[in-house]
Amino acid sequence: MRQRGAVCGDWTILGKTRKPFTGKYRGCGIAEPVQVQIVSDIFLSQLALMDCETAVTLKTWIETTAKPVFADIGGGLKGMRLAGHYACKTQNNQPHTRLSEHARGRAIDISTFVLNDGTQITVRDGWTDQVHGDRLRKLHGGACGLFGTVLGPDSDQYHKGHFHFDTARRNSGPVCR
C-alpha cells in the first residue's frame, strides 16, 4: 500500500484530504472530508470517508479501548474490516426516515477485527461466543459516551453483524444500545 499523509492535524491518522461535497439528498455531504486508511497504526480495510471529528474520535477509541482489549491475544490488533462509512442514505436504508449520520460523514461501521497473527474476530459470530464475547462487549462499552451513538448486535436487526459508531450529539445525551 502506498503511504499516505497525515490528516486532521494528527500524524497518527493517515489518509488524504478531499474537497467538500454534497450528495443526492439534501443534507448529505461533508464540508471538510478526509479519506482515512490507517488510524493509530491500525489498518482499515478500505479508505473510509469521514469528517475529522469522527476520525479523531475513532483514534481515541482505538488507543483507549481497542488496542488494550486485544493486547494479550494474537499479537495485538492489526486492522479492522469496515462495513460502512460515508454514504448518502437514510437510517438503516429505510424509506421515509431521517438521514443517517453516514450521510454527513460522521459514522463508521466495524464488522471484523484482524489480529497480527491473522485471527479474524467478527462482531456477528463473536458477540455470543464464549471466547470473544467479553472482548467485543468491552469494545462496545468503551465506545459508549465517546461516540454520540453506539449500536451493536443487541440494538436491532440492522446491527447484528457490526458496530455502528457515530459522532452525532443530542440534547438527551449519547445513545448506547
What integer best gives the mean pLDDT of the chain? 94
Give the single-character DSSP code of 66: I
Give the single-character DSSP code of 74: T
pLDDT digits (tens, 9 = 90+) for 42-81: 999 999 999 999 999 999 999 999 999 999 999 999 999 9
Domain ranges of the chain: 51-176
d(CA 167, CA 137): 20
- Give the DSSP H or E segment for 54: helix 52-61
d(CA 20, CA 43): 24
Q: Kindly report the pTM of this predicted structure.
A: 0.94
Could you say which of 1.20.272, 3.50.30, 2.40.160, 3.30.1380 is the CATH number of the domain covering 51-176? 3.30.1380
Looking at residue 97, its pLDDT comes to 78
Q: Are strands 29-30 and 33-39 parallel, antiparallel or unpaired?
A: unpaired
Q: How confident is the model at residue 113 (pLDDT cuts 50, 70, 90)?
A: very high
- At residue 158, the 3 state secondary structure works out as helix
